[in-house]
Structure 1
Amino acid sequence: MSKCAFLGLGVMGAPMAGHLARHGHDVKVWNRTAKKALDWSKSYRGEPAKDAADAVFGSEYVFMCLGDDPDVEEVFDAIEPNLAAGMIVVDHTTASAELARRLHARCEARGASFIDAPISGGQAGAENGKLTIMCGGDAAGMEKAIPVMKAYGHRITHIGESGAGQLAKSVNQICIAGIVQGLSEGIHFAERNGLSVEKVIEAISGGAAQSWQMDNRWKTMSEREFDHGFAVDWMRKDLRIALDAARASGASLPVTALVDQFYADVQAMGGRRWDTSSLLNRLNSKKAD
């Protein structure tokens, strides 16, 4: 078993760190809000650290699950002096590929490995240890990290060199944005035409229109329940990263850019913390006209 530091105990990070502890790893945790680390240590076998650098000192693996590029860079600045040769740093934050490449170079200078490893699967995936993990980095670091990440990862794929994991996560979010907008329009259309949404979904969910979003969100969407799931604020952050990368590479993302603006409308409606499926609410508002 390995000595692990886990930095960031949000709705995703806390259960992920918990799975590491359950699998017998020696886990030391840190969170910006110290109480979260203390509460976590009461539920799992592990130790709260006094700060991020303390959590990392002497660890073999360092896992981060934070908010955005500035959060990752700030924490990395704090832990960098305690990074040693042979350490594996795994960043599960959805952040930019540019940042991943910079941190990879900084780790390499200290003889450590850096893997950008954004995740998909939501809170349920984290709690059930069934996350999809998209990774970028060197093969040697990946070989060492995969057995440990299996504590919470169901599908772990090495996409390519540093930054490739973050770019793959952008592909994931690009696809989701289009699917959720299409599903919202489909449900909206069914309702306006007096159809039973339940019967329509029953009819089409076994065919080409089927998707995870349809299977898991149609009912809550039709009941206008959005106080759950992946928040609109976080989706806009992810789409900003994707659109920035698209501009840098010359990729054309017209639908993604449009849906991003639709999410801005949802934010203006007070839906910053609503689930991403709340695009349906926008279609019933004047913003959709």
Structure 2
Amino acid sequence: MAKLAFLGLGVMGYPMAAHLLRAGHDVTVYNRTTAKAEGWVAQHGGAFAATPRDAAEGCDFVLSCVGNDDDLRSVYTGPDGALAGMKAGAIVVDHTTVSATVTRDLAAEAEGAGIGWVDAPVSGGQAGAENGQLAIMCGGDAAHFAAAEPVVAAYSKATVHFGAVGAGQLTKMVNQICIAGLVQAMSEGLYFAMKAGLDPKAVADLVAQGAGGSWQLKNRAGTMVDNQFNHGFAVDWMRKDLGIALGQAKEIGVALPVTAIVDQFYSDVQQLGGGRWDTSSLIQRFRAMNGEL
């Protein structure tokens, strides 16, 4: 068992840190809102710290799941950042979905202090975090990955190493690109079914058994039909992720026409007040266009 710090107690980090504690690790948490860290300790045990540096002192691993590039820099750099408190030989495991650029920059800074870095964004959403069933895509030195894998096994159903630092973030971009196109296609198909007079849930159940099946269809079709979106991965965060993917695509000279279109469709959902709705709320565009909202 290891001495760990976990930085960031959002909808993903809160249950992930709890899984680590239940696995027997010595866990200290940090959250920008201290009251949330205090509440986590009251519920689960462990300890909390007032700064990332304090949380990271003496730890073998520092894990994080925060919001975006700027949030990640803020918890690792500066006099109160985690890197300032970490010992040589310790390893960062960052689960935040951020750009490959900030990942590589921070990893280089960590390397200068003798600290390893594994970028390890996740897929599976809030339910996956709560149930310990996340898919984790990793980049970093092979030895650092091998050391981190048994730790993240506390909340993983699949953990794969894809290459050097940044490879995990690039893989997560692929994940989000695929989801964006898939959810738009589902929205079109389900809305078509409704307007054609079919039972859309029955249609989705059948399609899910064939070549059109997917996790999204099995887990989101019913709530899309029922107009329920107060769950899952928020549109605001999806737009952040798609922006990262589109920026990376421009940098490497790859066209992502469908992703670019769906990103704009998500902007329409935001204009409907759906920034915190689940990503499956793309179907609301059709309802809005037909005066149903």
Give the TM-score of the pair, scaled to structure 2: 0.96
Q: Does 1:197 align with 2:200?
A: yes
Which SS does the other structure have where 2:11 is aligned? Answer: coil
| Aligned mate of 1:239, from 239, 242, 250 | 242
1:126 corresponds in structure 2 to 129
Equivalence map 1:121-160=2 (5 Å): 121-160=124-163
Which SS does the other structure have where 2:212 is aligned? Answer: coil
Equivalence map 1:1-289=2 (5 Å): 1-77=1-77, 78-286=81-289
Which AA in structure 2 matches 1:91? D
What is the rounded CA distance, in whole Å, between the counterparts of 1:48 and 1:5 in structure 2? 9
What is the rounded CA distance, in whole Å, between the counterparts of 1:243 and 1:57 in structure 2? 37
What is the rounded CA distance, in whole Å, between the counterparts of 2:222 and 2:188 in structure 1? 14
Structure 1: which 5+ residue stretches go unaligned?
A: none
Check conservation: 1:83, 1:107, Cα contact below 8 A.
no
Which AA in structure 2 matches 1:253? L
Structure 2: which 5+ residue stretches go unaligned?
A: none
- Identical-pair percentage: 55
Which AA in structure 1 matches 2:75? V
Answer with 200-209 or 151-160: which moved more.
200-209
Deviation for aligned residue 1:201: 1.7
What is the rounded CA distance, in whole Å, between the counterparts of 2:143 and 2:202 in structure 1? 51
Which SS does the other structure have where 1:10 is aligned? Answer: coil
Check conservation: 2:205, 2:218, Cα contact below 8 A.
no
Check conservation: 2:230, 2:277, Cα contact below 8 A.
yes
What is the rounded CA distance, in whole Å, between the counterparts of 1:70 and 1:109 in structure 2? 21
What is the rounded CA distance, in whole Å, between the counterparts of 2:111 and 2:226 in structure 1? 51
What is the rounded CA distance, in whole Å, between the counterparts of 1:132 and 1:199 in structure 2? 29
Deviation for aligned residue 1:52: 1.1
Which SS does the other structure have where 1:157 is aligned? Answer: strand
Which AA in structure 2 matches 1:279? L
Q: In structure 2, do the counterparts of structure 1 residues 198 and 69 end up closer, same or farther at CA, with 3 Å as the change threshold?
A: same
What is the rounded CA distance, in whole Å, between the counterparts of 1:128 and 1:200 in structure 2? 28
Answer with 214-223 or 39-48: which moved more.
39-48
Check conservation: 1:136, 1:166, Cα contact below 8 A.
yes
Deviation for aligned residue 1:189: 0.5
Which SS does the other structure have where 2:154 is aligned? Answer: coil
What is the rounded CA distance, in whole Å, between the counterparts of 2:204 and 2:20 in structure 1? 38
Check conservation: 1:266, 1:279, Cα contact below 8 A.
yes
Deviation for aligned residue 1:236: 0.2
What is the CA deviation profile of residues 64-111 of structure 1, one whole-angstrom value per residue up to 9, with x for unaligned ones?
Answer: 100000000111112222122110001100001011111111111111
